[in-house]
Amino acid sequence: MNNLSSASRKALEAMLKHAKAKKTKVAAEITLEDGKLFYGCNLEAACHTLSICAERAAVVNALIHCGPEFRIKNVWAIAEKNGTPHNIQVCGSCLQLLSEFAAPNLYIQGYSLDVLYPIRYS
């Protein structure tokens, strides 16, 4: 899947309104193998190490609703900085967590996980 659907884009834009960030708001959508969709938004804390990325928030959302056996087949994220849309890359921490719940052919922003994160912790 190389393109974000218009329905997903609208859902992610709505999710941006929930993000708690001073400058850059991020929303993420994960699609599970069974077709279920889960969303997350970023939360910036005063102590940066306590912040959470939108992608990880979406994974926690899926974990709460599905338990630990779900597998992710697709991830999309959008960002808005100072009210302007921006492209975004998934960070290394998110790539690692996503890899731990990955379906065999996980795609992130239209790219294979194997291309984005070829060597993972196990």
110: which DSSP letter? T
What is the Cα 47 distance to its own chain's centre? 21
Is 55 annotated in the active site? yes
- Catalytic, out of 44, 55, 69, 80: 55
Q: Coil, strand or helix: which one is 107? A: strand
| DSSP secondary structure letters along 32-74 | ETTS-EEEEE-B--SSGGG-B-HHHHHHHHHHHHH-TT--EEE
Annotated active-site positions, please? 55
